[in-house]
Amino acid sequence: MADQHHQAWWRSAAIYQIYLRSFADGNGDGVGDLAGLRSRLPYLAGLGIDAIWIVPWYPSPLADGGYDVADFRAIDPIFGTLAEAEKLIEEAHAAGIRVICDIVPNHCSYQHAWFQKALASAPGSPERDLFWFRKGRGPDGEQAPTDLQSIFGGSAWTRVPDGEWYLHLFASEQPDFNWDHPAVRDEFEDIVRFWLDRGIDGIRIDSAAVLIKDPLVSDVYEDNEGIHEIYQSWRRISDTYTPPRALIGELWLPDHEAFARYLEPNELHTAFNFAFLNAPWEAAKLRYEIDMTLEVHAPVAAPATWVLSNHDVTREVTRFGREVTNFAFAEKRRDVPSDLDLGARRARAAALLIMSLPGAVYLYQGEELGLEEVEDLDDALREDPMFHRSGGVNPGRDGCRVPLPWSGTEAPFGFSPADATGEPWLPQPAAWAGKTVAAQEGDPASFLELYRQALRIRRTEPSLGDGPMRWLDSDPEVLAFARDDTFANVTNLGTTPAYLPPHREVLISSVPLNADGTLPSDASAWLRLS
């Protein structure tokens, strides 16, 4: 079993998330694309990551940043072509980088051919059975079938001209599939095969726990009976490929035992660790989440995952600089002050912490540059339905999706070519001139070089990645653990310097040690013990 686990790359991988619209613009229209990503593969290889995860690249009207999919077997022309996606997979493999794509099984775009046929068909038709069309309440059916609320705010039901209502757990432009219908299950099994046949190494499953539901009976739409049969069938498909491909679940489940059931040996290979991501910058709470994560994963022999941010979450430099450092969608508000210098210091320490924990690590593009959340976007530029459906109370997720700065002293900072005809789809802050890749390269104190050095060590250090860990004696405000008899991590979340355990060498530290060899506050260090 150990040898089998050793061969399973997803157990120890450093995986870099690509938000394609904002990574690199190859054709100069202001939107990131496959040409831009292909041109930056050398950068990714040099960074030291093992795989990239690309958010939906499918044709989409972009009502929800591409998670409203109009065609699951094609590439949106704004990004390129299917042939170009296949070329990307080939070139990434040649560079030693695996490729993970997103599949969105809970819903599609209102422009999807199936939904358009459903709208054109009569109530009770087979076309409508593929979705959740229902009659409304009241004498004329003018009230929604239930009071169920959308995750994005407002009712989860929208009425169509003939009087019926359809369900959408997210935006109204994202109708939910009816997963009780065998045609839906067959369709997605075919979609899974379609992408695996093209060399995709893994599939990230969006909103993986909400597929099965009966919205007229219950407003509980997470982790319902029958959900596991779906992923067991997908696992049987993935296991027919050599080597087997990874299935990765997006599971926002507070129940740890329920979470673990998705990671049984015949189901998903791994899942995102949102409990750790949501935790505040506090030693006791982080230690609890680390212990709980490892405890939950152990019985099913699944690898843990660690992540600080993604395309949905306030960037950690901003989050860790606030008085309240945890993340929760329901609590996200505008105009919350942040000490970005403090946030950056903590983000550097947190990066070394997660890269040394057992299992796989996910990095979000721009994290390695120390980018902060862009919070002063003009409201007219904001696209996120979370912003619009909350009436502007929730600032939405656009602030963590601003295009990356690559070089130069003014926008677009190398995101687009010099002869670009379009502005970046979201504006970049002028202050990012000092945070471009070019500005940070070669600077040993920069975020970029910290990440490069840590990822190099992580790839070559046998004790890192998947495997055991043990806590070391330390102050309550210090997280100190060993991965074996030769490697240790110490992260100081307290307000006073921390003494390091006996060691032979400091491999890397998020900030320089004090003159007396102690670890400063809000800092992390990797140690060679013997």
Q: Give catalytic residues, as residue numbers.
A: 206, 250
Among 403, 393, 395, smallest CA distance to 425 is for: 403
Q: How big, in percent rounded to 5, are the helix, strand and coil portions of the chain? A: 30, 15, 55
Q: CB burial class (10 A; 0-12, 13-18, 19+) of residue 108?
A: buried
Q: Are strands 487-492 and 523-528 parallel, antiparallel or unpaired?
A: antiparallel
Among 458, 525, 470, smallest CA distance to 498 is for: 525
Q: Where are any strands of DSSP class E within 397-477? A: 470-471
Instruction: Tell me how far apart the alpha carbons of residues 246 and 332 are, in angstroms, rounded to a whole number.
Output: 32
According to DSSP, residue 69 is labeled -
307: tokens are: 């992540």
Sheet order of strands, 202-205 included? 270-271, 246-249, 202-205, 98-103, 51-54, 14-18, 360-364, 305-307
Instruction: Tell me how far apart the alpha carbons of residues 194 and 520 are, in angstroms, rounded to a whole number.
Output: 51
Q: Where are the alpha helices (H) located in 203-243, listed in sequence order?
A: 227-238
367 neighbors 308 (Cβ within 8 angstroms) = yes
Which residues does residue 14 pair with via DSSP β-bridges, in sequence order?
361
